């Protein structure tokens, strides 16, 4: 009986490792009024995104409600560089959208 209990425990433990939580996927919604070139979120390349369009979803290991974003619009490069994530918790598995907008000359990021 003890061997069966140990076997069931190890099997359930392994299933947690083999089948981790749902993947975290992020896409970009471009609401800047311009085409975005070379979009990057946390070292993941998104490429070119037309105005009022979504990128493809890309998988991330860890994502927060805000994060590092780098894009080029026309000849200007915009970067959002968080200093830290103190007090923030990573988002749970699922699909998320970072909406990018321009407020005058500042890139603004929000989570949808």
Render pLDDT for 21-49 as a digit per residue (tens, 0 to 9): 689 999 999 999 999 999 999 999 999 99
Which pLDDT score, from 0 to 100, does residue 70 have? 97
Rg (alpha carbons) of the chain, rounded to whole number: 19
pTM: 0.78
DSSP class of residue 80? E
| Domains of the chain by residue range | 22-111
**Least trusted range by pLDDT, from 10-14, 15-19, 55-59:** 15-19
Please, are residues 37 and 72 in contact by the beta-carbon 8 Å criterion? yes
- CATH C-level class of 22-111: mainly beta
Which pLDDT score, from 0 to 100, does residue 102 have? 95
Q: What is the pLDDT of residues 65-105, one digit of tens each?
A: 999 999 999 999 999 999 988 999 999 999 999 999 999 88
Tokens at residue 18, please?
């083999």
């Amino acid at each position: 009986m003890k061997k069966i209990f140990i076997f069931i425990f190890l099997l359930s433990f392994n299933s947690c490792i083999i089948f981790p939580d749902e993947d975290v996927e992020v896409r970009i919604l471009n609401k800047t009024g311009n085409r975005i070139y070379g979009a990057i979120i946390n070292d993941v390349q998104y490429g070119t995104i037309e105005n009022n369009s979504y990128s493809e979803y890309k998988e991330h290991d860890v994502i927060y409600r805000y994060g590092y974003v780098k894009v080029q619009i026309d000849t200007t490069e915009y970067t959002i560089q968080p200093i830290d994530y103190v007090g923030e918790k990573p988002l749970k598995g699922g699909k998320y959208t970072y909406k990018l907008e321009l407020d005058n000359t500042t890139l603004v990021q929000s989570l949808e």
